[in-house]
A and B are shown apart, each in its own frame.
Chain A
Amino acid sequence: MSHHDADKEQKKGSFGYTDMQLYKFMFKYALPYKRELLILLVYMVFFSITTSIGPLLIKLAIDRVTDASDTLFSNSFLDNLSDKSINAITSIFSSANKVWLELTIIALLYFSFQLITFIFSYKRTLLMAEVGLDATNDLRIEVFSHIQELDLSYHDKNEVGRIMSRVTSDVEAIRNFLGGQVVDNIANLMTVVVVLIFIFMIDPILALVPLLLIPPILVVGTVGRRYSRERRKETRRINAMMMANIAESIAGIKVTKGLNREARNIDIFQELNEESAKAEIYAQDITAFLFPILLFSSALGSVSLILFGGLRVIDGAISIGDLLAFLGYNAILFRPVQRLGNFYQQLQAALTGAERVKSLLETPTKVPWNEDNPSLPPIEGEVQFEKIFFEYEEGVPIYEDFNLLVPSGKTIAFVGLTGAGKTTIINILSRMYEFQEGNLRIDGHNLLDYSLPSFKNQIAAVPQDFFLFSKSVRENLKMGNPEATEEQMWFVLEQVGMKRFVERMENGIDTHIQERGSRLSVGQRQLVVFAAVLLADPKILILDEATSSIDVFSEIKIQKAIKLLLKGRTSFIIAHRLSTIRNADNIAVIDAGKIVETGTHEELFDKKGAYYNLVKSQIKLAEV
């Protein structure tokens, strides 16, 4: 099954993408920035040329001071130019020495080249960072949007921290690559090419020495990569588990405190942390070998140059200045090679990140948004479940053949023992999970033929485990209706009896209510959610235990609001407090995946069946 990548994360390296696919995936996000990339290329060409000129100038200087050549540039045009200017200067400073003057000219030339290099590389770095940031931001938002589309069966299986690791660390790894390393290395590779051209011009035979060293380096790199990839992956996997652990520990801190569980939690975390340290060390050890080997190759280059170059100097084939220039070029040539070690590390991290992000993006939502399908027209609200077969886990069906028709504008209530499957019906209707068989019809339309957002616009639900955001009361009310006016908000607050309380909070309706709304009492939270749903104007309304924590007085008060709310809508109500649902047009008693009774309160009451028994227990409980 491709759905649960938590399972996949348990196994190493089973995402199953080729590197080519991953590169394509990453570069796809850089592609929209073609113009910037082109500018970058121009910067890089200039960068490589200017960097390559340095050692050449050293050669000129040394050749001059060691009398290896008579003229400065061995090029008639440039020599003419320099001679003229030197003559002009010596005529002013007659005491000045010609060689020192020439050195000064070289210094000035070098300075200007370096200045240009600086400007180019500064611009390059900035532009690169910008492209990296912008490109990965597109990716990040795409991932976030995809997460919004994924149905709840995905979210059930993947903890908050685990998903977060994909959107944060994994995307960041791609950013480091796109926004730095990759361009850096292209620039360096260009420099390699330019340098190779230069040294071939100086002495084609000696130029073979560094050239011969390059293939073995590439081999070392490829071998290293093979191992480092697996190990890198392992670090990312543990990182995700660690993030999940931290997120959950914080969310459940109150329980932990109350049950004195800190020490054990710390033990668990430390184990995970130890595993993480080991995996990191294991992964980095590869670069600990790779990098020095690359450095060594550079030293090997120098040694060979001194040996063969020295022999050629002794033979008189080249000058000492040439040899020095070679040594200088050797350093430049191997600079990118040395950085390859670093690059590999980042590349592996990026590929691993790409793999994890790509697999998340390719995890299909089981409840497709079908945005290309036609929009559902404004509905009346008739809901029909037709032979619905539903299971959360394969092989454990909750409903095997569920049938129910709710006429538009009517209110249906579900009652039943806990765990009977009431919420599940709601989950199916509000498209949180996909049902496996059967049809769900709205006004006779098969829901699957229409775009999901067009349906969602017309339905609103207070889920049993509702959630408030750590924003202001106002923002939370806007969940119900983003366009609600100030007056409407106060009106609904009044209706649920929260007006006075909200007014008295430190910042009124703009008071920040902390994570999960913990600034409010549980009952107050439920009232706020209730107010939010009052603001929504859906055709189909769902209230799943929306008043479970509300006190009797408030409940009586909001019954009026509920009555108003239900008018003209198809409504689904679930409540254990049976007085809440007494007025429903139809009551369905659910038991073990079946509707065992339906009818109005009176009808069911007379029947003396399951419903009657529930009422009886409630009355018994209320004997005070």
Chain B
Amino acid sequence: MKPLFKMLIPYVKQHKLFFFFVNIFSIAIALTQTLFPLQVGKLVDEVIELDDKNGLYVGAIILLGLAIMDLTFNILQRLSATRFGQRIIESIRNDLYETLQYQEMEFYAFESVGQIMSRTIEEVMSLSDVLRWAYRITLLLIWLVIGAVIAMWGVSPFMSLIFIILVPIILIIITKTSKKNQEKFYHARYVYGVANEYLAENLSGIKTVKSFGREKEQIEGFTEKTIDYIDATMRTMNVRAILREGMVFLISMAIMGLLLLGGGLVFEETITVGEFVAFMILVMQISIPGRWVGFVGIIVQDANAAAIRLNELFNAPNPLADEQGNVDLEDIDGSITFDNLSFSYPNGTEVLTDINIHIPAGQKVALLGPNGAGKSTLINLLPRLFDPTKGRIMIDDFDLRDLTLKSIRDNMGVVHQESFLFSMTLHDNIAFSRPKATREEVIVAAKAAHIHDFIASLEEEYDTIVGERGVTLSGGQRQRIAIARTLIKNPPILIFDDSVSAVDPETEGRIQESLECASKERTSIIISQRPSSLQYVDRIIVIDEGKIVQDGSDKELRGQKGIYQDFIDAVKNQIKYLSWDDSFESETKQAD
């Protein structure tokens, strides 16, 4: 049960006050609940046996007072336990979310949305059961046993010691069963996560599912996953049932044993009937939380499994975390150097090999290469989404690894190949990197990305909320919002990864003009499968299978045998194919 405690202790410290109240009120409850039976016992011995009706009335009023105190403390204890539990849950979730936000891409290659969600929601919930309920019950039980031992000591030390026997019995059972149960609980949670994963994927990919008409197969797949979940959960049920009902059984047995023993002692006249009554009520009061001990055990073991799963998130290494002494990148010129760089993805073969590039500040570079050549990989290294496996990347004269992550990314604007929008307003999407940007700034960026006119035509203009991932926009509209989102940042280094792939030729032309304008005096890297970007770059770098195969200006590379020339030829061919009419070509020339 170590992971659970280790995880919770810092949070308990953080919420000391509520913790204090839970404890104080538990003691108060235990106190009133110990006094109650003693009073009853006294009544039986000194009042009922002596036929003293007046004494009975007085005694009953005292009992009523104790009951009311018990009621008050109980309410207060629960109110504080709720706050104690819920506030800790809140803190854990916040920390978890923060950890997730600051985790780097490498982590997300191995963690799916479904699993993460079941961790942050379900796993955290099971901790809340421990805090709100199990802790309270356990505490009450402990205090009641202590109270009972003390209370009975005066009557019969022998009987008071009997209570203590209960403690080791309970402890042994819970700890003995712990390890094996743990695995079952962990497995059930994991399998639940897997089902969640399937669900999350299905929902994200619903359009593709429908496009291929694969709904039936998806239902079958999901059914399979949930059956796994049922099996795994059923396996924990056996444990749950034995522990829970077995504990009730043991406690009932112990209680009856105690009572009969007490009865015998009454007979032997070692104790009085009243003392026996007090003893009996004490025992029954202990049995209330006592019956739940097995359940507490289950909850704690289950929560422990949850804590292990949470720890896997908390303790996932973050190799890119800022180290001490990292400096902020400020007022840069914007030159970029890839120095003898190689890179492999954590699970794959080498994707980039011996890359050496120096891009002077202000230069515009086009990256060209076939699918899977490594273009996106290369530019993902710039904002340090990953670290190179060999060699280094420098901005101006700084190695990226000596800089703070935030300052690196502040100085760069990347339009990724896939345009991901968030389900918020268009304004907020464009102002994503600068939440405080004014509407005017947003409009300037939108105009540069040639999306302003469209937005203005919408009923709610910039306050239109887009669907998740931007689904309520057309492909080209999405892409242009993503461009605007980067342009508003106004960074010294601009990177565009195939960012006009989804727009028509006319719009493409206009966007290229804006990009050309935006990248003035900025270091820019442009990846494109279209020839349009080649028109305004200073330099072309061709990558193939992770290596630089050509590097130079258009003039230098043209005519050289290689991918660049092949690319030009292919494009020319395609165009020729479009404009089989010679007069057309000459006409467009004139139109310029």
Taking CB atoms, residues of chain A closer than 8 Å to B572 are 622
CB pair B253 A576 closer than 8 Å: no
A457 to B210, CA, bound (A): 11
- Which residues 370-393 of B sit at the A interface, judged by CB distance below 8 A? 370-373, 375-377, 383, 385
A482 to B220, CA, bound (A): 13
CB pair A549 B529 closer than 8 Å: yes
A514 to B347, CA, bound (A): 11
CB pair B97 A310 closer than 8 Å: no
> Any chain B CB within 8 A of the CB of A314?
yes
Nearest Cβ on chain A to B439's Cβ, whole angstroms: 18
> Any chain A CB within 8 A of the CB of B120?
yes
Taking CB atoms, residues of chain B closer than 8 Å to A140 are 226
> Any chain A CB within 8 A of the CB of B9?
no
Interface residue tally for chain B (C-beta within 8 Å): 190
> Any chain B CB within 8 A of the CB of A495?
no
A248 to B260, CA, bound (A): 62
Given A274-B90, A284-B82, A296-B70: A314 in contact with B53 (beta carbons within 8 A): yes
Nearest Cβ on chain A to B244's Cβ, whole angstroms: 7
Taking CB atoms, residues of chain A closer than 8 Å to B505 are 576, 578, 614, 617-618, 621
A506 to B63, CA, bound (A): 76
> Any chain B CB within 8 A of the CB of A106?
yes
CB pair A299 B67 closer than 8 Å: yes
CB pair A578 B578 closer than 8 Å: yes
Nearest Cβ on chain B to A237's Cβ, whole angstroms: 14
Taking CB atoms, residues of chain B closer than 8 Å to A58 are 256, 259, 263, 280
> Any chain B CB within 8 A of the CB of A460?
yes
Taking CB atoms, residues of chain A closer than 8 Å to B306 are none
CB-based A-B contact count at 8 angstroms: 521
> Any chain A CB within 8 A of the CB of B329?
no
- Stretch of A10-18, A82-90, A378-386, A518-526 contacting B (4+ beta carbons < 8 Å): A518-526
Given A243-B121, A251-B469: A624 in contact with B347 (beta carbons within 8 A): no
- Stretch of B164-172, B175-183, B194-202, B332-340 contacting A (4+ beta carbons < 8 Å): B194-202
Nearest Cβ on chain A to B573's Cβ, whole angstroms: 8
Cβ-neighbour of B246 out of A118, A130, A247, A579 (below 8 A): A118
> Any chain B CB within 8 A of the CB of A568?
no
The proximity string for A residues 513-550 relative to B, scoring 1 for CB distances below 8 Å and 0 otherwise, is 01110111111100101001000100000100100111
Taking CB atoms, residues of chain B closer than 8 Å to A36 are none
Nearest Cβ on chain A to B458's Cβ, whole angstroms: 8
A269 to B467, CA, bound (A): 19
Nearest Cβ on chain B to A239's Cβ, whole angstroms: 7
Taking CB atoms, residues of chain A closer than 8 Å to B210 are 152, 430-432, 456
CB pair A289 B75 closer than 8 Å: yes
CB pair B567 A552 closer than 8 Å: yes
Taking CB atoms, residues of chain A closer than 8 Å to B246 are 118, 122
Nearest Cβ on chain B to A210's Cβ, whole angstroms: 15
> Any chain A CB within 8 A of the CB of B218?
yes
CB pair A551 B371 closer than 8 Å: yes
Taking CB atoms, residues of chain A closer than 8 Å to B28 are none
Taking CB atoms, residues of chain A closer than 8 Å to B345 are 519
The proximity string for A residues 552-574 relative to B, scoring 1 for CB distances below 8 Å and 0 otherwise, is 11101000000000000000000
**Which of A114, A258, A303 gathers the greatest number of chain B CB atoms within 10 Å?**
A258
CB pair A295 B591 closer than 8 Å: no
Cβ-neighbour of A306 out of B43, B409, B568 (below 8 A): B43
Taking CB atoms, residues of chain A closer than 8 Å to B409 are 257-260
A466 to B216, CA, bound (A): 19
A161 to B468, CA, bound (A): 10
- Stretch of A24-32, A192-200, A219-227, A324-332 contacting B (4+ beta carbons < 8 Å): A324-332
Nearest Cβ on chain A to B99's Cβ, whole angstroms: 10
The proximity string for B residues 95-118 relative to A, scoring 1 for CB distances below 8 Å and 0 otherwise, is 001101111110011001110111
A549 to B383, CA, bound (A): 22
The 10 closest A-B pairs by CB, nearest first: A418-B476, A523-B371, A456-B213, A292-B74, A288-B78, A259-B433, A299-B67, A467-B205, A65-B267, A621-B532
12 additional A-B pairs beyond A155-B471, A415-B504, beta carbons within 8 Å, are A121-B245, A125-B244, A129-B234, A130-B234, A148-B218, A259-B432, A303-B63, A466-B208, A522-B371, A551-B529, A576-B503, A622-B532
Sample of 6 A–B contacts (CB below 8 Å): A65-B264, A125-B241, A125-B244, A246-B116, A269-B94, A296-B68
